[in-house]
Amino acid sequence: MRVAFLGATKGMGRALARVLAERGDRLFLLGRDVEDMERSAADLAARGEAPAGSAACDLARPETFEPALDAATAALGGLDAVVVTAGQFATQEELEQDVERARELLTVNFANTVAFCERARARLLAGGGGTLCVFSSVAGERGRKPVVLYGASKAGLSAYLEGLDHRFHAQGLRTVCVKPGFVKTGMTAGLKPPPFAGEPEQVARIVARAMDRGKPVVYAPGPWALVMLVIRSLPRFVMRRIGF
């Protein structure tokens, strides 16, 4: 596949980029840190297919979206898939104490990610279809005490991706909404891992298979699908009492 990849330099994104490169997919890296992308490009070249190039793309700066996708399309000769693993995270306590930080996270994780995906969606459909794979989170499954604001941003993103699937599936667009549970990355450093905590490499393998199959929703690691099934079924008075 010819893949424009936003967020391939850290955590789950880096692991997924490695899986795709090792199997021979052609990647074009998008990100906000040029040095990080250069290091990732060297790492990917050593493991498999070297990236076709890179371009600056920052979810906090919507003006970078169109030029970045232009560069990816030109370098790859078209797009078969666009992957978005980039995003922001902060604890509920941090966001409650910093209104501006909360506004930025909500904007980047929802409004700006949707704006980027709209541009990617249009390009994929113009080329006859393709796969739009975007990382959301189990935090968006239901309103919960520890992730009120972060969860709200991911709930909106998940709803958007479901709507895209309904609207454009018949035209050839395959949306893959990835809902990771707790995964041991730099983003979760310092937080106590719960049961079923996963590793980035484990998540990457699951997501690559989901992309190949066009699976619209994928939980990673797998047990989180059952965990969230239980959480969704709990009555509100129970959710008010528990800390999960």
Every domain of the chain and the residues it spans: 2-241
| Number of helices and strands in the chain (H, E) | 10, 7
At 195 the pLDDT is 61
At 199 the pLDDT is 84
Measured distance CA(7)–CA(34) in Å, rounded: 12
| pLDDT tens, residue order, the chain (244 aa) | 999 999 999 889 999 999 999 999 999 999 999 999 999 999 999 988 889 999 999 999 999 999 999 999 999 999 999 999 999 999 999 999 999 999 999 999 999 999 999 999 999 999 999 999 999 999 999 999 999 999 999 999 999 999 999 999 999 999 999 999 877 655 555 555 556 666 889 999 999 999 999 999 999 988 889 999 999 999 999 999 998 8
Q: Which helix (H) or strand (E) holds 3?
A: strand 2-6
Cα dist. 92→12, 39, 79, 119, 206 in Å? 22, 32, 37, 31, 28
23-46 tens-digit pLDDT:
999 999 999 999 999 999 999 999
Which residues neighbour 195 within 8 Å (Cβ) at sequence distance 6 or greater?
none
Q: pTM for the complete prediction? A: 0.93
∠ CA 54-56-60, rounded to 5°:
145
**What angle do the packed helices 65-76 and 113-126 form, to 10 degrees?**
30
- The identity of residue 145, as a single letter, is K
| DSSP bridge partners of 27 | 3
Tokens of 202: 């484990």
Which residues neighbour 57 within 8 Å (Cβ) at sequence distance 6 or greater?
6, 30, 31, 32, 64, 65, 68, 69, 116
At 186 the pLDDT is 53
Task: Name the nearest CA neighbour of 212 among 20, 10, 79.
Answer: 20
At 36 the pLDDT is 93
At 221 the pLDDT is 87
CATH 3.40.50.720 fits 2-241, yes or no: yes
